[in-house]
Structure 1
Amino acid sequence: MSDPSSHSAAAADSPAVFDAVVVGAGPSGLVTALALAYVARGTGAKIGLVGPAPDETAAAGDTRTAALMDSSIALLKQLGIWPGLAPVSAPLEGIRIVDSASPFFAAPDVVFRASELGLPAFGYNIPNPVLVRALYEQARQAMPVAAGSVSHIDIAEDHARLVCTDGREIMTKLVVGADGRNSVCRKAAEIPVQEWRYPQKAIATRFRHSLPHEQISTEFHRPSGPLTTVPLPDANESSLIWVVEEDEAERLVTLSRADFAAELESHLGALTGPISDVGEIRAFPVAGMTARTLTGPRTALVGEAAHILPPIGAQGLNLGFRDAGWLAERLRPVFEGSGDAGARPVLLAYGDSRQMDVMSRTIGVDLLNRSLITRFPPAQAARGAILRGLKSLPMLRRFAMRAGIAPPTPLPPLMQSQA
């Protein structure tokens, strides 16, 4: 692990010892490490992080963004990170739903506005590389960091031993698995998962357009999946998540940038005007996964080590941030009392905090995606009826907005907006 005062990673002769070590340096893992360091401040508890530094070469071509809802922004504010991110983030003041999934049951466009809830914005859209870089630099200031990965974990009754790829060993009371779909931490704790695939791929890129986005994200509900544009700080630039059938994705990624722009404009032109300057185009499988439990022996899971959702409604990363907030909240009294961060009652309390939120988001996103790709007329009619209700009934629309940006259970204190 590195010394946070020197920012260098030097292997020690004997294993470093920690109360909790976060494994994984994606946004969810970094936020979790920072949240744990925040609640451990002044207690003597030791928090560590194992994860590779951001790859600046790869980041240069990464056009993905993170649409973080209001509660996630509140967490970044609490951790002191938001001031540096605010200037490079775009507010999401409105969300437009355009229903084109069925020619027979299409509903009118619905626009949800944050002002209806008394909010300046539902959240903010942040370029992924910028977010990761800011979080990683803050982590290096706050805790020892091993800039590598974990190859093996041994779990004993009162501790876990992590073996890093460079041979160094780390001892910890608690392993926090934030190491993604193929989590080494989850496998070491023998936590089973349920996985499923959709016949779709998601295309991610960014593009310029002649008409301003007016801080409104637009989600087209189409038979192959949603096509979503999300505002970037430049009023004439947006990020794109385009979910299509797998064969169509293979065709689209082989197009020239100009041909891709023309294809995209054929779908969006009425809202965006002419499209140009398409960025790096990448395609990702659309899949789902949930761990049967978020905890195991000496292990807690967060982010995509715990759950993976289709890219609909910006739910996935915000769910991971709430994992971070609740894990920090459950560990706060443990750190303050010099207790055992990996004790079974502590882990069960964390799992109970997350069960309803994870289940409701997983089911909700899955049903929405399947309702788009289904050819079953009653399901198409039901979706259209719901959208019509949202269009015409302000009370129902406000209820749907609150449900979309906040979980069905209370937020952890770190994620509650400060008056």
Structure 2
Amino acid sequence: MDSTSDASPTSPRRESVWHDWQWYAVLILALVVRGGIGYLQQENFADDPDSYRLLANNILRIHSFTLDDPAEPTAFRPPLYPLLLAVTSISRNVLPEEVLLLHVVLGVITVGLTYFWTIQMGLQRWRSLAGFLVAIDPILLNQSTLVMTETLATCLAILTLVAVSSLAAKQLSSDDARGSRDVTISAVNIAGAVGLAIFCRPTFLVWAALLPMAIWFCCRGWKLRLSSVLAYGLMLLFLLAPWVVRNLLVFEAPVLGTTHGGHTLLWGNNDSYYEYLRSGSTPVWDNTEFHQRFARRNPYLGTSASELGRDRAAYREAVETMKQNPGMAAYSAVVRFTMFWRLLPNALSEDESGRRTLVRYAIGTWYFIQFALVIAGLFALGKDLAKPGWMAAIMLLASFSLVHLFFWSNMRMRSPLVPILAVLACAGIELIRNRLAKR
């Protein structure tokens, strides 16, 4: 891909991002868009679909990470988002206005980090466009108005990518006297960012396990490469240990993620869903009976032991269902892949309004164009995809796709990938621009 001189990762302009007027223009745009959408949809912040507000309020009220009162420790949801809701609640009641403000701030930070990462990846000309694409992305706009983790997860994903690319940009070698110190600090920063991401959404665990491959190529020389990977690994273990130890004490089992994974696996691998895939005629599978049936078979008894038992029972049932129906298990994995990467949001009913249909097709058109540019961008980058920053990005795309081959999937679950897709689309635009210029 043709890179102009001002797009170089070592360009002086990259060091003066705080003096770049486009930086502030994009941040203001993000503030207006995210703030405006949040204000118009403020009633959504009163809902609590995944019990994150409940967890945050219990942290504030009874000082326990629990869904119940009297307190019974839980790991049903990851801890970071409810903790953030709690510590940013001035009223100590996690009011809708406070959640709105938190999401706006996270959204603006995400856009700013995308802007900076675009420069790091050698696409400085398109830095504002990349930030703009993230600011107005339909999935992120929708999720930013809900008390759910997507807004935070996306911010932490791009923060990790910036940390990886920052280490690569230093171009340290074993001959550099400051190399060992700088490598350690940078690797710790990467571990810190991805560790927070894991505490927001356990799906990042797979990416965290793959990141050492990208970190390895950030430096030159065996000594620094080993130091960087070792520093990353030790810091990540240090960050994850308290949660694992806490769960070991509570559940008498080393729960690394949550006690919700089994249910999510079973959600996409059960007899009812397989039957729907064989002969279902409705636009969306009605999973109400599935959830009720599982609850009857595995009632929640209000204890941590019961919570863990339900999770393990769900894992066992899902695995058994897949073993008994290998063909449908494979087919459902393909369906989940298409659900994860689909362009058009699902029709929620057969008699949806004309306005909603128009909105759905507008979103589908948006993603069709973006994905076409992403493919062009991948082609344009070519061998550059082997560079650490792009390697880390591609591994994030691949790891999320892999996880959701098995676990329940839909469009919103690709939210953390949006900044990568935006920058890849800009690489595609760069390719088209260069081809047109040659003509």
User: TM-score band, normalised by the shorter chain?
Assistant: under 0.3
| Higher-RCO chain (CA-CA 8 Å, sequence separation at least 6) | 1
Q: Which has the higher helix share?
A: 2
Q: Which has the higher strand share?
A: 1
TM-score by length of 2: 0.23
TM-score by length of 1: 0.24
